[in-house]
Structures are given as C-alpha cells and as structure tokens.
Amino acid sequence: MTAIDTRAIPSHLPEPTRFKQYLALTERDVRSILKNDLVGTLTAPLVFTLGFYLPLHWIMSRTMPDLNYAQFIMPIIVLQSAAFTMGTVAIQTAIEAITGFSDRLHTMPVGRVTPLAAAMTSGMFRTTISVAAALTYGHLIGFRFESVSSAAGFIAFALLTAFVLALFGDFLGNVIANPVTVTQMITLPALIFGMLSSGFMPDGGFPRWIRPFVRNQPISQLSIALRDLSNGTATFHVLVPGMLWLGALAAIFLPLAVRARNKQ
C-alpha cells in the first residue's frame, strides 16, 4: 500500500474573503433570475404599459387633449417596475428564510452585510433589465427623452428609487418569512399609493379634500421628479422633495434590513 505524503496536503484551507462570498452569492441570485425570472422581468413592464396607457390614454385624450399622456404616465410605469423588483426581492428573501438558507448562512463565516449586499446587487440587476424593458415599451407608445443628460438623470433616479424599495423588500421578507403573506402586504399599499398619486393624472383631477395628500405623498413626488428629468426641466426645487423622501426611507430601511438579516 502506497504511503501518502502528508507534506503535500495543506495544513489549512484558505479562508474565503468577504468579496468572494459576495460574488458567489450574487452569482447564485443572478443565475436564478436568468433561469427562472427573466421572462417575468421583461413582461411585467409590458403589462404595466398596456394596462395603464391604453385605457387611460383614451380617457385623458378627451378630458385633457393637450396632454402628452405617454410622456406623463411613463414615470409611474417605471415606478411600478421598481415596485415589482421590491416584491421579487421580498419573496426571494422570504423563501430563503423559510427554507433555512438564511439560518445556514448564520452558521458559516459569512460577513454580516454580505448576503444583503448580494441581494441588493441582484435586485438592481433585475431592476436594470426591467427599467430598460419599460423604456423600450414606452418608446413604442411615444415616450421620449429631451436629451442624453435627461435620460441619464431619469435612469439614475429610477435605479436609486428601486434600491431603496429593494431594501424595504429585503427587510419585509426576512421579518415575515412567508412568500404569500409578504406578497399581499406589498401589493395593497403599492396599489393604494399608486392610484392616489399624480402618476396617472394631475392632482387637479382628484377631489379637493384629498389633493394635499395626493400632491405630497412619495409616489407623486417621485413621479414629478422623474417626469421633469425626462423633459429636461428638472430644477433643484422639483427634485428636493423626492430626494428627501428617498433619503428618509433609506435611513429607515437600511438599518432595519441589516438588523433583520442578522437577527439570529
């Protein structure tokens, strides 16, 4: 029997770096998106575009004939795509929590924020595809950017919004740990805030008593910012409310997401 030269066996295996752990988890999530969710990521913005634009354009063209409705409604379609990313991040996180994958990561020498960073990166990968698809469909219905700089500002603002929403989705998925329940908890608020916003029609079309809420709630302010960015008319005064909403929400959701990921 041949003797084994133990000197050729390393005394210890190299410890993976946090960056390699992040890459491995991100690759896992991206592969899952490309394999299982790519069709949904591409078709969800199409459903939003057709479902919102076709019926509402018919109405708005008669009540407000001077309004370019494709230009007006595109921000809310992009925001709905960002909300779709929030939902998928929440569902994926809930699945990982309920199946024990998150618990398994806690038993391994994985960095505290590494799983969250990987989830956010894969979420932004999904959002980039979804926003690109939404803008493609928007171009077909007549949406246009004023310039390259307006397009860059619009896309950057949309991705920042999606990132903040994804933080909330990750937090909620970890806390609820039930894909069905978390879907219901996300869908209803997104629907209410979306319909009671100036994303679908100017706030003047709402009853007078509810206009202050419609005008100042986050979805409206984000829609206004995106609309002015696309038209090249955005000013500091216009962007500040939306940026303040994003900053406040990020300040709340980021520590909550980190804490939920490390609750055990």
Cβ-contact 58, 149 below 8 angstroms: no
Exposed, middle or buried: residue 173 (CB in 10 Å: 0-12, 13-18, 19+)? buried
Concatenated DSSP letters of 152-180: HHHHHHHHHHHHHHHHHHHHHHHHH--HH
Query: What secondary structure letter does DSSP report for 197?
Result: S
H or E element in which residue 68 lies? none
- Contact assessment for residue 54 and residue 172, using Cβ atoms and an 8 Å cutoff: no
Query: What pLDDT band is residue 66 in, cutting at 50, 70 and 90?
Result: confident
pLDDT band at residue 236 under the 50/70/90 scheme: very high
pTM, rounded to two decimals? 0.89
What confidence score (pLDDT) does residue 262 get? 81
Residue pLDDT, tens place only, 202-220: 988 899 999 999 999 999 9
Type of residue at 194: G
Contact 102, 60 (CB under 8 A): no
- The model's pLDDT over 173-202, given as tens digits with 9 standing for 90+, comes to 999 989 989 988 888 888 889 889 999 999
Structure tokens at 177: 């740990």
7 has pLDDT over 70: no
| Residue 234 half-sphere exposure toward CB, CA atoms < 13 A | 28
At 254, the pLDDT band (50, 70, 90 cuts) reads very high
Res 26: pLDDT: 94
The answer to whether the beta carbons of residues 123 and 162 sit under 8 Å apart is yes
Instruction: Note the pLDDT of residue 112.
Output: 81
Q: What is the pLDDT of residues 71-106, one digit of tens each?
A: 999 999 999 988 988 899 999 999 998 988 888 887
pLDDT for the residue numbered 107: 80
